Each structure stands twice: as C-alpha cells, then as structure tokens.
Structure 1
C-alpha cells in the first residue's frame, strides 16, 4: 500500500498557498493553471501567482519560516475545531456535567459504568458506554473514560471490584490505586458516616498494626536480652571477685597456721631448753644458737624485717603465745629479737661491727 505523504511535505509551496489563501484549499487546487481557471472571476488569482513567485525566489531560511508558520496555523485551526466538536458532544453538555453527588452517595451500590462516570464528574444517568465507546477515537473525554473503565473492569476480574460495588468499597479501591475521584464525592459519602474501606484496606491496616506490634515486641525482647547479658556479666564479675577474696582468705589462714606452728615449735624447743637441768648458765655459743633459732623463726614465720625501725612482729608473737596459753610480754620478745638480729650477716642488719 502506497504511503500518502502530507501536503506540507509533498508540495510545501501549495501547502503555504492554501494557508495564505484558504479559498484554494476549499477547491483542492494543485496547479497555477487550476488557480486561473477556478478563480478567473476572482481578483485573487494575481495575488496567488505573485505570492507563489515570492516563495520560489525566497531564501531557504525564509521559505522554511513560512512553512513553519503555515503548519502552526493549521495545527491551531485543527485544535480549535476539535475543541469545538468536543464541547458539542452530549457527554459534555450541562445536563451531563451537573452531578448530584449527594444523591449518588446514598445509593447502596454503583455499577462499574456509574462509578467511572462519577469519577469523571459526569451524571451516570445521562451517559451510555455504547455511545462513549463509539467516540473513543475522536473524543478526548471518551478516550479517558474508556481508559479508566478498562482499569475498573480489570479490578473486577481480580475480585477487587464487583459489578455492584458499594460506594465505600469503590472509593477505598480508588484511594489505594491512585484512581482519582472528585473530592465532593468523597465528602458526600463520608458525610453519611460511612467508613471508606474495603477488605483489602482493612487487612492492610490490621497487618500494619500487627507488624508494628511485632517490631515493638522484638525491640523489647532485644533490650531485655541485652540487659540479661549485662546482668549475667556483672554476676560473673562479682563471683570471680568473691572467689578471689576466698582464695586470699585461705592463703592468710594458711599463713597464720604456719606462724602458729612455727611459734609452737619454737616454744617447745625453749621449754625443753628451760626444763633441762643446767649446772651453769648458757654459754655464749649456746645463747647464740638460741638467738639464731629465734631470729630465723621470726623472719620466716612472721616476715620480720630486721632493717625496719618500726615492726609489729614482737606484738604478733606475744599475741600468738597468749592464744596457746603462754604469757610473754611484747617488750621481752622485742628484746630477744633485738639481740638475735645482731647475729645476722652484715647486709641484713644495721648493727655496728
């Protein structure tokens, strides 16, 4: 099939002439001879011929400008004609545009065609889908109606709408799918105290509440588990510290027992020494041995520091002796310790040599 090119492309000069002289377009004139023959009784034939010569002799830029001007004028005339035809169609007349939203809000259900008509601010009782469908290719409103009806019919197939749908259910579907509807229609339905919702909307709302509650419970659970972990760590730290204190206590008790054992042994030796009949006082060698025994047990058993000017060892020994029923005052113990430390090597005492 041959493709028919538009006149502005196949014969741009004639296209411009038709724009400049609308009478030519009415007679479908194609040649200058036709112009002279058709317009022989008219005065414009010379004007047409003169303007044609001007176009032929004009620069490419000027010719292109004239062509664009003619195309723009034709487009404008076409738009104005289509708008005029659109205004004259029955579904754009006042009786179709004036909608009683209050009346339609009280209807128990809407058909698909009624709902689509109301969404476009048209009175459903004055519209016919058959008539609109026949104008869908030439009318902007009819094309829009057909497109919106297609959306609603597909929603019906999927069970989102029905052939008889309540106003609340339709408006809820429209709000969920961005299917625009007049604010006046929504206000009229809400004015009756009707909640605009369908099962999908109610389900989505309930699901949203459930998810929010689940998220809150999860957050609270995480916080509780974190607190329990911190508490467990604190208990572990306290237990570890307590066990450390028990170990220190046992160590101190053991050290005390060792001191008592050493002191008991020392006293036993002293008792044996004192109970042994002596024909004469201890000699210097025996006394030194006794003092060495005293200083050795004091250092090892009581951590006695011979270099310390102030020591509590004498007090501790005197106290431990009292615990086992043997009395010896602190000064006596201190005297023996002072004598005994003189026997230590030179690097362990400050005594004068």
Structure 2
C-alpha cells in the first residue's frame, strides 16, 4: 500500500478499492472476472464508486482525487470503513505525498468526530496551495452564484450566510466577508471584466 500513498492523486476506481484496504490492480482484475455475474462485493464496490462519481459531478469531491481529501469525504458522507479499509487508509495517508492539515500524522477521523467548520479550518491552511484553492472556490461561488461585487454594497455575504445556515453550516457574515476580502485581494484581478 505504500506505493499508493506516494501517488499524488488517485482515480475513482483506485480510491474506491483503497477504501476497502485492497490493491486497486487486484480489484480491477477481480471486477473484470465478475462483470457478467456480480457478487456481493462487486455490487458494494459499484455502489461506493457511484457515490464518489456523483460527488465529483456535484462538486463535493475534486478530481484528480487527492488522498487526504478522499479520506475526508468518506468521513463526511459517513461511509463506514471496515477494519481493513480504515487501517489501509490510515497507512496510505501516513505515506501520502498529498498536502495534509497541519497535524500531518493525523489519521482518518473516527465517525464520532465532529466536523470543524470551514471558517475555523481556513486559518489553519498553512499549505499555500490549499489556501489558494479555498479562496478561489469561495470567490468563484460568491461571484457566480451570489453576484458578489466588492465595489458595490450588496447582499451576497448575507445570502451566503443564509444558505449555509439552511444547511446547518453556520458561518458568520464577518467571517465570510473577511475571507471574501482576502480572496478578492489575491485573485480578484484574475476575474473577467
């Protein structure tokens, strides 16, 4: 499994196989042999892969799939990993080249762990790539969905907060405004006129 931890990204098929603690190459061969007569594992694997495909389509999971982000997505959608899957994912994450949160020895969170609000995580994004992605995503959504314009007094910030509140994801107006300001300062010049 050490090889998979060194990969900078995974395909959906690889990530799905690794979530069971299985070698993706062996799983691929197994699925090919059982494609006309799927067994219980083949059906479960297909369902989990389908969830990941849909998460990608919805924008909840980004491609290429970064190992740590896939592990976080599994926890977020409450996919329970069997012991082998959890052990394998923890091992892969320890050897991963992927950018991880400041506690780089961190393992896959237990299902009982409460999620930390994204507004609190943003200050912890020491990795410039992750920080830039966060700010670009925030700015892109604010401009396209909420018609954010830093030069005009508008309702974008309060509408974003309201949408998040409806989803039980509470982030205050001041926090949203703070990160939108940072995002605009750093990336606003890249926006089309």
Shorter-chain TM-score: which interval? 0.3 to 0.5
Structure 2 length normalisation: TM-score? Answer: 0.46
Q: Counting helix residues as a fraction of each chain, which structure ranks higher?
A: 1
TM (norm. structure 1) is: 0.27
More RCO (CA 8 Å, sep 6+): 2
Mark the structure with the bigger radius of gyration: 1
